[in-house]
Structure 1
Amino acid sequence: MNDAVIKITNLRLRTYIGFNPEEQEKKQDVVINVEIHYPGHKASQEDNVDDALNYKVITKAIIDYVENGRFLLLEKLVAGVLDIARDHHWVRYAQVTIDKPHALRFADSVSLSLSYTANES
């Protein structure tokens, strides 16, 4: 059976992101998308919550990390969220994309993505 895939789509949060003085004084919007793959065959057959990843717990950890943090670089913010997404030993693959709306004058947003793949050993 294929992996179960959790998708957290367009989680809109505010944080301090950037290294320009105005960016360090005022929180900015970020839009977070997370995808997590894990073996969900047992959860889908047994209907037992202990056999599934708890996406509410993951989301609350992401919210806490983002809203209470200060980041100079989008890379650091994305890497931290990816660490949270891949924290459980069941996770086989995780990808995080974070958009920074209005970062460029003529663009809707700037985004950065990082991914993690578990070793198959």
Structure 2
Amino acid sequence: MATIFIKDLLLRTQVGFNPHELGKKQDLVLNISINYLTQGEELSDEPGEALDYREICKQIIALVEGNSFNLLEKVANDVADLILSIPRVQSVEIEVDKPHALRFARSVSFSLSKTTRQ
């Protein structure tokens, strides 16, 4: 088992349900931990055998920035489901931060862990 971390992925999307949030894109910061089964890439050094985190990141960007959400919980769940659809992935942990969501706080975040059913 191996882990890839995607740290501080800054995205913009419509998120929130309060009147002042509707129709406006806001920043979200995602931190993602992907636990997956290796296929010998740690021994062979062959890029074609590695989990393609660049492609995963592109899919996450398209998902989040191409939709609108009411809740951080839904963002985290949709991203987790996307990542878990990759056959080698065993589990994922996601934290979604919404900077400046509260007046006196740097951010508000929601964290979610999901695993594949085996």
Residues 101 and 110 in structure 1, CA contact (< 8 A), matched pair in contact too:
yes
* Identity among equivalent pairs (%): 46
- The separation in 1 between residues aligned to 2:6 and 2:47, in whole angstroms, is 18
* TM-score, L = length of structure 2: 0.93
Q: Which residue of 1 aligns with 2:71?
A: 73
- Residue matched to 1:32: 30
Deviation at 1:41, TM superposition (A): 5.4
Return 24-33 or 81-90, whichever deviates more: 81-90
Moved over 3 A (4+): none
Deviations 1:33-91 (A, max 9, x none): 11101122511112223322100110000001111110011111111111122221111
- Paired position in structure 2 for 1:6: 4
* Equivalent residues in 2 for 1:82-93, closer than 5 Å: 82-93=80-91
Q: How does 1:38-53 map to 2 (within 5 A)?
A: 38-40=36-38, 42-53=40-51
Question: Which ranges of structure 1 fall in alignment gaps of 5 or more residues?
Answer: none
Is the Cα contact below 8 Å between 1:34 and 1:85 reproduced in 2?
A: no
Structure with the higher fraction of residues in helix conformation: 1
Partners of 2:14 and 2:28 in 1: CA distance: 10
Per-residue deviation at 1:4? 1.6
TM-score, reference length from structure 1: 0.90
What are the ranges of 5 or more consecutive residues in structure 2 without an aligned counterpart? none
1:61 is matched with 59
